[in-house]
Structure 1
Amino acid sequence: MAKVQVITDSTADIPRHLVEELNISVVPLKVHLEGTSYLDGVDIGPQEFYKKLKEAKELATTSQPSPIDFVEAYREAAKDGETDILSIHLSSAVSGTYQSALLAQSMVEDEFKVTVIDSREASYAIGIIVVEVAKAAKEGKSLDECVAIAQEIRENIQVYFLVDSLDYLQKGGRIGKASAMVGSLLNIKPILSISEEGEVYPVDKVRGKNKATARIFEMLKESSPKGARLGAIVYTDNREEGERWAEQMKETFQLSDVVMAEIGAVIGTHVGPGTIATILVPNRD
């Protein structure tokens, strides 16, 4: 049976130690800031990026990998032979990354097998899928088994996040169905999520961050009545707040481990500093 090599892109925001431990291949997107282009997670890390972003006079922009970038990654992964490639990427509703991967798949289909999945998620909501699939691949699971794991998590994952400002989502054109909330905040904190179609949308709005935080954990408990098996907190330049959320998640769901993942430059361009998110995968029925 062919081994499975898992490939993703840098917007999955997977902590470096997990990338190395699970042999995950990561294709970087690019971020463009004040005349300089950086490979996300290669040329610039989150801390340096947020510092530059706060000082920048112009809005940062991002660009997806080319199909050739993916072809090179696929060929590298398959160079030892007997390899099935599973490529899992940023929501097609907010980026052309998935389409680039599909084009690359068609360019190598005569050489080896590549399966491409639209995560319909962003940041470590992609990463949590990729990590669980990579664990399965390391255990020797087949491609079909790995695809089934990815699809099951994608269908059940719970994601809620807060942004300090909707401006970044609005200016970057990634605001989706949350656009109606712009300009009417006045200390109202919109609680955002990602729809089944992979778009950002508002779930609720609460006055003040403390109440918004409490509401998020209330909604997580409502959506995961049988508890949870996986949890993560995703943060930007606010690690201390992220650590408090992680402790709360551990206590609420009796989780021994909650992954702390830092939002990289590409996703950070569109959500801005101060963003924080919860990611939860409920227990199976």
Structure 2
Amino acid sequence: MGVTISADSACDLFPDLYKQYSIEIVPLYITVDGKTYRDVFEIGPDELFANYEKTHSLPKTSAPAPLDFFELFKRETDAGNDVVHIAMNSKFSSSYQNAKIAAKEFQNVYVVDTFTLSSAQGILVLKAADMRDAGKSAKEIYDQIEIDKTKICTNVLLDTLDYAYRGGRATMLQMFGANLLKLRPCLLLDTHGVLTVRRKFRGNFPQVCKEYIRYILDMPNADGERAFVSTTGMDQVLFDSLVQMVRDSGKFREVLTSRAGCSMTVHTGPNTLVLFYKEK
């Protein structure tokens, strides 16, 4: 008997990390111009940006159905495996609830509501995979991830409030005010899954990105283990320089990078930047 680690596609462990760590992925669904696609496997953020530029209409996202989770859980449990499924923030999607519905049919499937998403969720998924590879049981993994999810730090730097406005997360006044003053908000996603404005940066985008990285690196109590530098898509030279800043700081044992998928991109837009990590 083994342990299977699974997650929905909001974990942003793409294109290769989910394969490298043997993670089973249940994709969300993205509807664009009336046609529905499987997140990551059939559509990516570049297609969303191109469609938005043409239509100024945001795509619709929807959670995997309970049947999608049931099929995965049944296949793995029939093969003799326990399952630990690590879900995105239940306040943003019904993905967690649908996984719980499916898990009720099994005695050995554990479902975690991470109260986060993107590579913050990914950090927890990779920790679960590390524990699996170290021979820990599904219950031990589940119990540890329930603790670790309360220590994840997620501060999201936005370049624009346009996507947040069209998605109902910002008012028109906030959007125009930020654009006029060249303000770029840093949003805190706390460990209860609630999003608030933590700080507002002002200046040109490359300058603000560097100031943001310094601001996050100066925060105390990082566990020094694994961090992710993630973007929804930005100038590659700038992104590489920001990643190097994090690596040169020596603050983390491992610094990974990721391109955020559709579930985050839809709500934040291009040029979003996040340094994800866990506290002690």
Same topology, TM > 0.5:
yes
Match of 1:204 in 2: 199
Cα distance in 1 for residues equivalent to 2:218 and 2:64: 38
Q: CA deviation at 1:116?
A: 0.9
Larger mean CA deviation between 122-131 and 236-245 belongs to 236-245
Structure 1 residue 40: Cα displacement = 0.2
Of 129, 138, 150 in structure 1, the residue corresponding to residue 145 of structure 2 is 150
Deviation of 1:264 after TM superposition, in Å, equals 1.0
Counterpart amino acid of 1:102? Answer: K
**Corresponding residue for residue 6 of structure 2:** 7
Partner of 2:229 in structure 1?
233
Compute the TM-score of the two structures, normalised by the length of structure 1.
Answer: 0.88
For the aligned residues, what is the CA RMSD?
2.3
Task: Tell me what 1:189 maps to.
Answer: 184
Contact 2:87–2:95 (Cα < 8 Å) also in 1: yes
Displacement of 1:281: 2.2
Shift of 1:132: 1.4
Consecutive unaligned residues of structure 2, counting only runs of 5 or more, are none
Query: 1:140 matched to which residue of 2?
Result: 135
Who is 2:75 aligned against?
Answer: 76
Is the 1:235–1:263 Cα contact (8 Å) retained in structure 2?
yes
Residue deviations 1:121-163 (CA, integer Å, cap 9, x gap): 1111111110111121122111232123323432222222212
Distance in 1, Cα, partners of 2:254 & 2:217:
17
Letter matched to residue 13 of structure 2:
I
Q: CA deviation at 1:211?
A: 5.3
Whichever residue aligns with residue 247 of structure 2, its letter is K
C-alpha contact (below 8 Å) 1:91/1:198 kept by paired residues: yes
Identical residues among aligned pairs (%): 25
Q: 1:201, 1:188 → 2: CA distance? A: 15
Unaligned runs of 5+ in 1: none
TM-score by length of 2: 0.89
Alpha-carbon shift at residue 39 of structure 1 (Å):
0.5
Q: CA deviation at 1:184?
A: 2.5
Q: How many residues align?
A: 276
What's the counterpart of residue 165 of structure 2? 170
* Per-residue CA distance 1:171-205 (angstroms, 9 max, x = gap): 224x38x9994442120111112022212211011
Structure 1 segments, 4+ long, off by >6 Å, are none
Distance 2:15 2:78 in 1: 23
Conservation of the 8 A alpha-carbon contact between 1:227 and 1:253 = no
